[in-house]
């Protein structure tokens, strides 16, 4: 029988890509505050607020793995980030523990390390340099995943996601681009890899020339199919200000944003 996978934040754009790419390989339980009506035969919708532990517990029966995309995906006021990304992540992990679901793919973000420069090369487990409150919340989520893996025996794959989309849109995202089908390949690893334990990888495609090194993902068996370099010639013809902070740091506009984050919602 196909495994049953719970996707939180299922009304969002990243989840939309993932639903299409996973096809009917899994039975999907889709959860969000916003109803989803265009359900495929292998999908069901169950609404829940990440702040409601009991509602989250009711999502868990029959679930084999969780893909946690829920929460706030842009910079914002501390109260919003706290409620949606920190308290919400804790309650999601705790609901899973209480109901015996011990495999989680956690959508972290490159903004956990956004204050590294684009001319620095880093591994996926590079020490934290968050570029805002949103990035801090992803640092917390990674730490939470580590706690639940080592204390409670969870298998957790934290994906430091770059930018998910059909193609990269600017020079910075020649480093951070993640195609939808490569996203699905990483998520499948998180769902299927035996004895995963706790691992952190970059959510990136092959991306020749990237300042990110994804050796942990390579070790786990990730074989990305797409490369941002295929679009580099076209992108490099666009206007570019090398002195703008958004073009110096890996976090792009998030290093300066106080609210709203990247207008293109580039993770």
Instruction: Let me know: does 142 contact 134? Beta carbons within 8 Å.
Output: no
* Burial class of residue 261 in the structure, from the number of CB atoms within 10 Å of its CB (0-12 exposed, 13-18 middle, 19+ buried): buried
* Per-residue tokens: 98: 């209480």
Half-sphere exposure of 174 (CA within 13 A, CB side): 18
Residue whose structure tokens are 């295929």 = 230
- Helix, strand, or coil (residue 147): helix
Helix then strand then coil, % of the chain, to nearest 5: 40, 20, 45
How many residues does the structure list for the chain? 267
Buried b (16+ CB within 10 A) or exposed e, 130-165: bbbbbbbbbbbbbebbbebbeeeebbbbbbbbbbbb
Q: Which of 9, 61, 2, 7 is nearest to 32 (CA)?
A: 9
Q: Which of 134, 148, 222, 249 is catalytic?
A: 134
Active site residue 134: yes
Which ranges of the chain does DSSP label H, i.e. alpha helix?
Answer: 13-22, 53-59, 78-81, 88-99, 133-152, 173-176, 180-192, 215-220, 232-235
In degrees and rounded to multiples of 5, residue 157 shows phi and psi of -115, 115
Give catalytic residues, as residue numbers: 134
């Amino acid at each position: 029988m196909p495994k049953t996978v719970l996707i939180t934040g299922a009304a969002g754009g990243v989840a939309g890509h993932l639903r299409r790419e996973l096809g009917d390989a899994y039975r999907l339980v889709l959860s969000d505050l916003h109803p989803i009506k265009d359900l495929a035969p292998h999908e069901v919708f169950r609404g829940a607020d990440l702040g409601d532990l009991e509602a989250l517990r009711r999502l868990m029966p029959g679930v084999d793995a969780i893909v946690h995309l829920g929460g706030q995906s842009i910079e914002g006021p501390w109260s919003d980030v706290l409620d949606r990304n920190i308290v919400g992540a804790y309650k999601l992990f705790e609901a899973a523990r209480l109901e015996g679901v011990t495999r989680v793919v956690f959508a972290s973000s490159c903004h956990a390390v956004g204050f590294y420069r684009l001319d620095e090369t880093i591994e996926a487990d590079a020490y934290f340099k968050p570029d805002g409150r949103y990035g801090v919340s992803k640092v917390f989520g990674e730490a939470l995943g580590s706690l639940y893996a080592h204390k409670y025996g969870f298998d957790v794959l934290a994906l430091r996601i770059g930018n998910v989309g059909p193609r990269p849109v600017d020079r910075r995202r020649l480093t951070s681009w993640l195609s939808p089908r490569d996203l699905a390949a990483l998520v499948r690893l998180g769902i299927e890899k035996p004895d995963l334990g706790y691992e952190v990888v970059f959510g990136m495609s092959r991306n020749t020339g990237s300042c990110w090194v994804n050796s942990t993902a390579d070790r786990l068996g990730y074989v990305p199919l797409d490369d941002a370099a295929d679009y580099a010639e076209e992108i490099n013809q666009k206007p570019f200000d090398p002195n703008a902070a958004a073009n110096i740091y890996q976090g792009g506009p998030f290093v300066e944003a106080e609210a709203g984050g990247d207008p293109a919602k580039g993770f």
